[in-house]
Amino acid sequence: MENQPEIPFAALEQAAEWFAVLQSGRVGKDERRRWQDWLAADARHRDAWAQVEAISKGISIAAHAPLAADSALRAAGRLDSRRKMLKTLALTVLTAGMGWQLARRDEWSQVLAGLHADHRTAVGESRKVVLTDGTQVWLNTDTALDEGFDAGRRLLSLYCGEIMVDTHPDNQVPVRPFLVRSREGTMRALGTRFSVRQFDGRTLLSVSQGRVEITPLAPGAAPTVIEAGQEALFTRSEVTAAGALQPSRASWIHGMLIAQDRPLGEFLGELARYRKGYLGCDPDVAGLRVVGGFPLHDTDQALAMLQAALPVQVRWILPWWVAVKARPQHS
């Protein structure tokens, strides 16, 4: 996949505002022409428009181009830009709609498997399942997990999302190893409680109790043991040095997102995992610090709490498109 340039916050906000206007059904010829001129003025505007359309449709993309954007680009005489916009649209639907950032062609098999996984949660949903051996597993938002137990092993395959595992002693002889496989490698539990989160090209392992051994996927990669109270990121080829486990790492099990002096931009990026659509942050306020506990199952309330505590304004441009920016100064 080609690296897509980051779309400026202002362009995304303008695109969402234009989308709201055009969806209102009360658009005159002059206003439609202004929208066409805005699209034609900058490639970043077209990329922003493509992202707004893609998120509005989720993963149900039609085989043809969105008629409004297509006609606007034809009117502007930008066929090359149209092709770029359609490419961006297709990529955005794939990644934003499914919640996965696919960086390698060979991950397609994992995507397809995840669509039919044994255990799944929707965006904003979390739940606990008890496996056949008594092990308890909590699934966080937008998670897909397969359970593959046989006579020789107990295996969980994590395709996307995040899980917390509380292993149960095996009642079979010989005792079967308990394994969790991510896109980057395999983790072997050594009698423990731990969490695994799948990122783009990386896996985060956090160990609360016991120990977990990581073996990256690359041939010849050396295993690394992570002790209780530690966490580590790993790729297909290596494991980073273990660091201290963040105390709030598992707060999502209790329906909370705990912020301990966390940058607002980073906090909103985490909160966005629990709501459909787009949640953006103006770079001008992204460095504000957030402290407190926020509900994950009512993200609108969490945003209201942020607005009450910080000098920011939460703008619902569309029901599914929310932007956080600096609060206007009144003279």
Tell me, what CATH number does 275's domain have? 3.55.50.30
Q: pLDDT value at position 5? A: 59
β-pair partners for 278: 321
Q: How confident is the model at residue 135 (pLDDT cuts 50, 70, 90)?
A: very high
Residue that finishes a domain, picked among 43, 69, 98: 98
- The answer to whether residue 2 is domain-embedded is no
Q: Both 195 and 72 in a single domain?
A: no
Q: Both 94 and 135 in a single domain?
A: no
Q: Both 22 and 41 in a single domain?
A: yes
Model pTM greater than 0.85?
no
Q: Both 237 and 111 in a single domain?
A: yes
Cα 237 to chain centroid, rounded: 23
What is the C-alpha to C-alpha distance for residues 175 and 153, in angstroms, rounded to an integer? 8
Q: pLDDT value at position 6? A: 81
* Count of H-run helices and E-run strands, the chain: 9, 19
Instruction: State yes or no: pLDDT of 81 exceeds 80.
Output: no
| Least confident range of 92-101, 148-157, 184-193 | 92-101
**Which domain covers residue 293, as residue numbers?**
255-326
Could you say which DSSP state residue 296 is in? S
Number of domains, the chain: 3
CB atoms under 10 Å from CB of 247, counted, come to 10
Q: pLDDT value at position 287? A: 97
- The answer to whether residue 249 is domain-embedded is no
Question: What CATH number should be reported for the domain holding residue 114?
Answer: 2.60.120.1440
Q: Both 114 and 53 in a single domain?
A: no
Tokens linked to 155: 């295996």
Q: Would you say 27 and 21 are in contact if contact means Cβ atoms under 8 Å apart?
A: yes
- The answer to whether residue 3 is domain-embedded is no
Could you say which DSSP state residue 328 is in? P
Q: Both 94 and 110 in a single domain?
A: no
Instruction: State yes or no: pLDDT of 67 exceeds 50.
Output: no
Q: pLDDT value at position 112? A: 58
Q: pLDDT value at position 114? A: 63
> Using N-to-C axis directions, what is the helix angle for 299-309 and 264-271, rounded to 10°?
170
Residue that finishes a domain, picked among 216, 244, 272: 244
Q: pLDDT value at position 27? A: 76
Q: Both 32 and 141 in a single domain?
A: no
